[in-house]
């Protein structure tokens, strides 16, 4: 009992200022950006299928799943049963701080409501996703096929290992057969938020065009303000692969590591020769 009291004293009194400072720090995160699906043309170059942007509600399951108030507000505004929302969150297989699509093609009034009450809905955001528009409606639909949200069965298959719940995929016809070519490549953003969740810094593919973003698997803030980023390329050994790189606050690349033919696929990094560095 005495040991427990001493431990509580140490945590609350001796280390209180340290933990308070850590809580006030900004947090560095990474998230995916959906890509538009490729168009389909006939042999004469006439457009048959294209992608159109629509508004959708995306949620972070790790933040929303246990928040009954947020789930109820989403249920009321989106006219979705609470049970359906919870089921979708439970079945998602995304990593921490990644999002899943909860509902697509929302109306303007719902979009305004969600943005207005955004501060009361942590882990919820309105984003643009891409749906398919078939120029000739049902004509040749059995050949062109159609798209839809990936289901739990497909998520468990090796060929869909880079997909997450909420992704749109080809389910039949050409849409399914050429899924790899049509799916597009997701973008990545590394961003920093303050304790209130406001974005204070971000890093996108456009900021560092010489580094190809794949799967951001580690972020470390250095004492000088620079950021070291781990960039796992999912076993895709390529000449342009850059597993690690460092950028300044104004997004200038300080150094980058390129893959050596004998190097084992790296999945993480930690800088050991610095003090007071923060890992995320």
Question: Angle at Cα 207 formed by Cα 202 and Cα 210, nearest 5°?
Answer: 135
Q: Evaluate if residue 179 carries a pLDDT over 90.
A: yes
Per cent of the chain over pLDDT 70 is: 72
Q: Evaluate if residue 212 carries a pLDDT over 70.
A: yes
Q: What is the mean predicted confidence (pLDDT) over 210-217? A: 76
Q: What is the mean predicted confidence (pLDDT) over 73-81? A: 92
14-62 pLDDT per residue, tens: 444 544 444 445 566 666 777 788 999 999 999 999 998 888 898 888 8
Strand partners, 161: none
CB 27 within 8 A of CB 219: no
Torsion of CA 85, 158, 280, 118, to 10 degrees: -20
Token pair of 2, please?
């005495």
CA 121/CA 77 separation, integer angstroms: 12
Measure CA 244 to chain center.
19
Strand partners, 66: none
CA 132/CA 70 separation, integer angstroms: 30
Residues sharing a CB contact under 8 Å with residue 50, sequence separation 6 or more, in sequence order: 39, 40, 132, 133, 135
Residue with structure tokens 């076993």?
235
CA 174/CA 172 separation, integer angstroms: 7
Q: Which residue has the higher pLDDT, 160 or 275?
A: 160
Instruction: Give the phi and the psi of residue 61 in degrees, each rounded to 5.
Output: -55, -35
89-113 pLDDT per residue, tens: 888 766 655 778 888 888 888 888 8
**CA nearest 235: which of 171, 162, 166, 139?**
162
Token pair of 219, please?
């972020």
What's the start-to-end Cα distance of the chain, in Å?
Answer: 35
pTM of the entire predicted model = 0.54
Average pLDDT value for the chain: 78
135-158 pLDDT per residue, tens: 888 888 889 999 988 888 888 888
Return the axis-axis angle of helices 68-78 and 82-91, rounded to nearest 10°.
120
Mind listing the domains of the chain with CATH numbers? Answer: 25-30+186-279 (no CATH), 31-182 (3.90.1310.10)
Q: Evaluate if residue 221 carries a pLDDT over 70.
A: yes
């Amino acid at each position: 009992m005495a040991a427990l009291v001493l431990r509580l004293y140490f945590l609350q009194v001796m280390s209180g200022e340290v933990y308070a400072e850590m809580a006030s720090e900004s947090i560095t995160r990474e998230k995916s950006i959906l890509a538009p699906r490729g168009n389909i043309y006939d042999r004469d170059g006439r457009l048959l299928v294209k992608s159109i942007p629509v508004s959708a509600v995306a949620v972070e399951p790790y933040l929303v799943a246990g928040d009954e108030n947020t789930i109820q507000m989403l249920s009321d505004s989106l006219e979705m049963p609470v049970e359906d929302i919870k089921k979708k969150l439970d079945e998602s297989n995304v990593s921490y701080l990644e999002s899943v699509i909860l509902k697509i093609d929302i109306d303007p009034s719902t979009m305004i409501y969600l943005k207005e009450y955004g501060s009361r809905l942590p882990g919820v955001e309105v984003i643009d996703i891409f749906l398919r528009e078939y120029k000739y409606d049902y004509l040749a639909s059995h050949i062109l096929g159609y798209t839809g949200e990936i289901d739990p069965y497909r998520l468990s298959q090796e060929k869909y290992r880079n997909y997450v719940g909420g992704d749109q995929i080809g389910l039949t016809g050409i849409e399914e057969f050429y899924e790899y070519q049509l799916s597009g490549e997701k973008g990545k953003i590394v961003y920093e938020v303050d304790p209130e969740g406001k974005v204070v810094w971000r890093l996108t593919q456009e900021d560092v065009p010489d580094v190809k973003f794949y799967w951001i698997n580690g972020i470390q803030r250095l004492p000088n303000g620079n950021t070291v980023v781990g960039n796992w390329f999912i076993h895709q050994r390529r000449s342009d692969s850059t597993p690690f790189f460092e950028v300044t606050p104004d997004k200038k690349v300080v150094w980058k590591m390129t893959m050596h033919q004998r190097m084992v696929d790296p999945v993480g990094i930690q800088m050991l020769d610095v003090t007071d560095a923060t890992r995320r």
